[in-house]
Amino acid sequence: ESKRLHLDNVLGEPCANASLAYPPTSHVTWSPHAIPFQKPQSLLSFSYSPSRLLEFSDSAMWYYVEPPGGADLQHGYDRWIRRPEEKGRIDGLLRGIAKIGSDKEKRGESSTTWLRDVGMVSWRGVMTKILTAPYEERDPWELNIMLLDGTLYFEEYISDAKIREKNNIPPKQRIQMYYGYSFESFCTSDRPPDPRGRMPGWGGDVDTNVQWCCVAKTKLADTRMIIGGEVDCVRERFDGTTDNFVELKTSLTIRGPQDEPRFEKKLLKFYFQSFLLGVPEIIVGFRTPSGRLTTLQEFKTLQIPRMVRDKPGSWDPQLCLGWGSRFIAFLKENVSSPPTQDVPCIWRASFTPKSGVTLKPLDQSGVDEVVNGEDRFGFFPSWYINGFMA
Ligand code: A3P
Ligand code: MG
Ligand code: MG
């Protein structure tokens, strides 16, 4: 009884105009067939402390500072405090949503009514995987999906074997991964940059437990959505909007035309990761294979599609948004709650590159995998469900 959504007709379709801005504020010609995506609006930010406590504060927010030229990205590698790989739990995002609800309640509004017209809730990383699926040639993914009070909730399904694998990556690959975090440290400070020109430098040893997250609302076609994600830093100050958000990335230095298509393919993921949370700027630190920072390039997120158009390795964001809205429509059509609310009903969407997605309800053995002995209803922590019963 599994259902399939094929990719077959997606890649061959003629493409509407690439999205260069969020409508309707766009001054760019907007194709009548284009799928609109509303500019994300920040609702709440929160922080994870070094001991991985979730706090409703901006204690883990960083300010952007220019990194020192030629920085050694291996710096501090042996002092890296690594957050262990974990299941792709949605709990932190649910805590954020509950906080938004309790703030509403304090103002005399209902804590859950605002969620009635929200079609889906997801971490940004999951949405990035969904939207970039038409161009994904290598990595499959699996999602658990539940329907609660008319809202779809997504959680990445990461098997125990996959977690073990991620915790045991070879040292060489682990150093490459560290370069990204160490670049973040070189680019950030816990204070706004000194207008007299603070000397750039190391922002502090890397602790990947510490994260600053933003919860935003947006809309893809006619589906309102709540998306949460980590934000690397802000320029100058945080004014409650996403307008000063900055995403930091590292990439191997481009040495010639042969390297360009590979970088342009990477830009697809950079683009959607930032676009989905309204992050307007991406700063890429190019590095040598051994982790020496060479150059810095700033990208305006909304201009990236235009930069890659008509190039080898190019992609069309409208095709991704079209696929994404079809995927959500497919889920709305097929994902249902159980007849009685006593039984959790989890659906599993499995993506196979270059093929498509299959959707099936999980049987009890599958449910056990995600319940994991905790006080849960499917993948929801019980306290979240109780908030809806009250
Ligand atoms: P880079 O971005 O420079 O690759 P993010 O870019 O999302 O802020 O993530 C910060 C860093 O975490 C990345 O740096 C990379 O080193 C690591 N990272 C994030 N996602 C990863 C993934 N799927 N696999 C391996 N490393 C990842
Ligand atoms: Mg990040
Ligand atoms: Mg980053």
Under the banding of pLDDT at 50, 70 and 90, the label for residue 197 is low
Alpha-carbon distance 110 to 106, whole Å? 9
Whose C-alpha lies nearest to ligand 1, atom 26? 177
For residues 290-307, give the mean pLDDT: 96
Under the banding of pLDDT at 50, 70 and 90, the label for residue 181 is very high
CB of 124 closer than 6 A to ligand 1? no
Q: What are phi and psi of 92, to 5 degrees?
A: -60, -40
Provide DSSP, 99-140.
HHHHHHHHTTS-SSGGGTT--EEEEHHHHHHHHHGGG--S--
Whose C-alpha lies nearest to ligand 1, atom 6? 249
Residue 25 pLDDT: 41
Whose C-alpha lies nearest to ligand 1, atom 25? 177
Q: Which residues pair with 181 in a beta bridge?
A: none
- CA–CA distance from 97 to each of 91, 100, 119 (Å)? 10, 5, 14
Under the banding of pLDDT at 50, 70 and 90, the label for residue 28 is very low
CA of residue 206 to ligand 1 center, whole Å: 13
For residues 186-190, give the mean pLDDT: 95
The lowest-confidence range among 23-27, 42-46, 262-266, 298-302 is 23-27
Q: What is the mean pLDDT of the chain?
A: 90
113-126 confidence digits (pLDDT tens): 999 999 999 999 99
Which atom from ligand 1 is nearest to the alpha carbon of 247?
8
Nearest alpha carbon to residue 327 among 143, 148, 156: 143
256 pLDDT exceeds 80?
yes
Whose C-alpha lies nearest to ligand 1, atom 24? 177
Beta-carbon contacts of residue 117 (< 8 Å; ≥ 6 apart): 224
- Residue with the larger pLDDT of the pair 56 and 313: 56
61-93 confidence digits (pLDDT tens): 999 999 999 999 999 999 999 999 988 899 999
For residues 124-131, give the mean pLDDT: 98
The lowest-confidence range among 3-17, 23-37, 43-57 is 23-37
CA of residue 302 to ligand 3 center, whole Å: 17
Q: Which residues pair with 229 in a beta bridge?
A: 214
Which atom from ligand 1 is nearest to the alpha carbon of 183?
3
CB of 232 closer than 6 A to ligand 1? yes
Alpha-carbon distance 387 to 390, whole Å? 5
Whose C-alpha lies nearest to ligand 1, atom 27? 177
198 pLDDT exceeds 80?
no
CB of 249 closer than 6 A to ligand 1? yes
Alpha-carbon distance 115 to 118, whole Å? 5
Q: Is the ipTM above a cut-off of 0.95?
A: yes
CA of residue 273 to ligand 3 center, whole Å: 9
CB of 250 closer than 6 A to ligand 1? yes
pTM of the model: 0.93
344-370 confidence digits (pLDDT tens): 889 999 999 999 999 999 876 555 455
CA of residue 248 to ligand 2 center, whole Å: 7
- Residue with the larger pLDDT of the pair 10 and 152: 152
Under the banding of pLDDT at 50, 70 and 90, the label for residue 99 is very high
For residues 233-257, give the mean pLDDT: 97
Alpha-carbon distance 200 to 68, whole Å? 6
Beta-carbon contacts of residue 22 (< 8 Å; ≥ 6 apart): 37, 38, 39, 278, 302
Residue % of the chain over a pLDDT of 90: 78
Beta-carbon contacts of residue 374 (< 8 Å; ≥ 6 apart): 381
For residues 161-183, give the mean pLDDT: 96
- Residue with the larger pLDDT of the pair 137 and 198: 137
Q: Which residues surround ligand 2, an ion (CB under 5 A)?
A: 230, 232
CA of residue 291 to ligand 3 center, whole Å: 16
The lowest-confidence range among 47-51, 296-300, 381-385 is 381-385
32 pLDDT exceeds 60?
no
- Rounded to 5°, the CA angle 55-61-66 comes to 165
